[in-house]
Structure 1
Amino acid sequence: MELRQLRYFVTVAEELHFGKAAARLNIVQPAVSQQVARLERELGLQLLDRSSRHVRLTGDGERMLREARAVLSAADHAEQVAAELSSGRCGVLRIGTAPGLRDRLERGLTTLRADAPNLDVQLSSRTTTEYLTALRSGELDVAFVRGEVAAADLRVIELWRDPLSVVVPSAYRSDDGVKLIDLADLPLRLPPNPWLREVVIAACRDAGFEPILGRPMDDLEATVVEISTGTPAWTVIYGAGCGTGDGAVWVGRFAPPLTAPGHLVVGPGADTHCVDALAQAFA
């Protein structure tokens, strides 16, 4: 099977006329007929119903038309990328990031730059709502978002899951994992993240208590200092707890574990092959 055969077949299917297809392709009609017939022989399928009066797609032909168009689209995209790379032109990839993704970003961008060494990357940090708005407007190309994303008009791909860790006074330390019920008497301080807030409060309720909500955690470092200097509270952070602290504060895991999904979110109309390449690079 050759790309030329698929291109001839798609053109005939769109024109439903061999003569018009040949004129559109700027070649002679017998060449079109021969290549389409050869494609049918190689596939073992009748793609077109021919008569002296009409040319029509068969059922197999309608199915193959969709597949042929997809193949040709992929081939055209590959040619475009190759042309950009060979000409030295650089593209710009505008990414919305999330805290704690440095390693993932560095690995993914290294992978992308293997094929596009002149790729220019612009990173920004915003709220999830702001990311979704920027993706819809075209201000951003992609964004990394933790938690569930409700956006039917955007492409949302779960790439990873982060463990959630607890930050508590050392008196609540548990090397086997901290049980939520053991934190029922401590104020809970959460960052301004609606999804995380909802998940943690729901987990507390499942554990049998309504959490005491303390002041919001605007800054993690400041919150840790406050906890370590005698303002008892607990909070939740993304990532695996190391089971250590500075003596007054302990960072560790929950028992049972809590996790959060990490998503790649892409704007509407993004090229499917580009989205797949991004997902593979940053997974």
Structure 2
Amino acid sequence: MELRQLQYFVAVAEEGGFSRAAERLHIVQAAVSQQIARLERELGVTLFDRSTRHVRLSNAGELLLSEARAVLAAAHQVRQVAADIVTGKEGILHLGAVQGPGDRIHRLLSELAVIAPRLQVRLHRLGLVERLAAVQSGELDAALVRALTEAPQVELLPLWSDPLFVALPASHPLAAEPVLRVEQLAGLPLRLAPRDHNPPFHDLIVEAMREAGAEPLLGPPFTALLDTLTAIGSSAPSWTVFYQVTELPSLPRVAIRALAAPTLITSLAVPPGLPTPGVRHLLEAIALTSGTGL
């Protein structure tokens, strides 16, 4: 049984004759008659009553017509889904995610849902090294990364930048400044996570200080944010730098101030070459939300 045979069967039933069905299908009448006859032989039933001047559905034809229409509708749906997958309007987008201020990811995904409502997004929260490896291997279609300027076998598309914040003792004279520069803090021990925990962010801060003519004075390592802030407020003077993920914390004896520079750039890591349709829709969503504080 072929789909075209069902298509011819439905056309004859709806048009009430072989010649009108042939006109509708833009083929010769003989081809319609031949395929209907083949379908009847394969099914072992007579689909049309040809004993009158008008072609009428037989009892078997009436019962099978709705089934034939359902098969043709299903085939059309398969073609439509396949076309949507090719254009990126349907399918699955595997995205390596990071947390961001203002529920950034959720706003981005909401815009993407408007652009491609049938595109399913699977978020994968992995470490930086795992995220990049998954993009390189094709396990992820794309991944959000912070502070990274280059990586092997991936292309980095800068998306947005976020400010950085400084935490220092509220009693320190620099706490009176609303905005601080890294060179002003050079005399205080810096609580920074070891480089192997987050190489791009570690390098961003160290290089910014050196570019400003200051060598970082490394103090106790940064651990969890609240633990580090608590230590800053209760022990010998020191400072740390961090980016906002949720609301800015508020702790006694700790001052949170904006850092003038550098800023934290978030990029989209994708395989080299032309982006896939799903990634193109993601970039479109990012562009549309860039003016709304994304």
- With normalisation by structure 1, the TM-score equals 0.61
- Tell me if 1:194 matches 2:199: yes
One-letter amino acid matched to 2:223: D
Q: Which secondary structure state, in structure 1, belongs to the residue aligned with residue 179 of structure 2? A: coil
- The corresponding residue for 2:83 is 80
Percent sequence identity over aligned pairs: 34
Q: Assess, with a 3 A threshold, how the Cα gap between structure 1 residues 246 and 108 changes in structure 2: closer, same or farther.
A: same
Q: Within 5 Å, give how 1:1-283 maps onto structure 2.
A: 80-81=83-84, 91-100=91-100, 103-151=103-151, 153-170=153-170, 171=172, 172-191=174-193, 192-239=197-244, 245-254=250-259, 256-268=260-272, 271-283=275-287
Q: Which secondary structure state, in structure 1, belongs to the residue aligned with residue 223 of structure 2? A: coil
**Contact 1:136–1:268 under 8 Å retained in 2:** no
- The list of structure 1 runs, each at least 4 consecutive aligned residues, that deviate by more than 6 angstroms after superposition, is 76-79, 82-86, 240-244
Q: Which secondary structure state, in structure 2, belongs to the residue aligned with residue 212 of structure 1? A: coil
**Contact 1:97–1:125 under 8 Å retained in 2:** yes
One-letter amino acid matched to 2:225: L
Q: Output the aligned Cα RMSD.
A: 3.4
One-letter amino acid matched to 2:139: E
- With normalisation by structure 2, the TM-score equals 0.59
Q: How many residues align?
A: 204
Q: Assess, with a 3 A threshold, how the Cα gap between structure 1 residues 264 and 152 changes in structure 2: closer, same or farther.
A: same
Q: Assess, with a 3 A threshold, how the Cα gap between structure 1 residues 240 and 272 changes in structure 2: closer, same or farther.
A: closer
Q: Assess, with a 3 A threshold, how the Cα gap between structure 1 residues 242 and 108 changes in structure 2: closer, same or farther.
A: closer
- Report the CA distance between 1:213 and its aligned residue: 1.0
1:198-221 Cα distance to aligned partner (Å, 9 max, x none): 121122223333211123223112
Aligned equivalents of 1:247, 1:102: Cα separation in 2 = 24
Q: Assess, with a 3 A threshold, how the Cα gap between structure 1 residues 138 and 82 changes in structure 2: closer, same or farther.
A: closer
**Contact 2:87–2:277 under 8 Å retained in 1:** no
> Structure 1: which 5+ runs fail to align?
1-75
Aligned equivalents of 2:105, 2:157: Cα separation in 1 = 16
**Contact 2:186–2:215 under 8 Å retained in 1:** yes
**Contact 1:105–1:282 under 8 Å retained in 2:** no
- Report the CA distance between 1:240 and its aligned residue: 10
Q: Which secondary structure state, in structure 2, belongs to the residue aligned with residue 173 of structure 1? A: helix
Aligned equivalents of 2:273, 2:81: Cα separation in 1 = 18
Aligned equivalents of 1:268, 1:141: Cα separation in 2 = 11
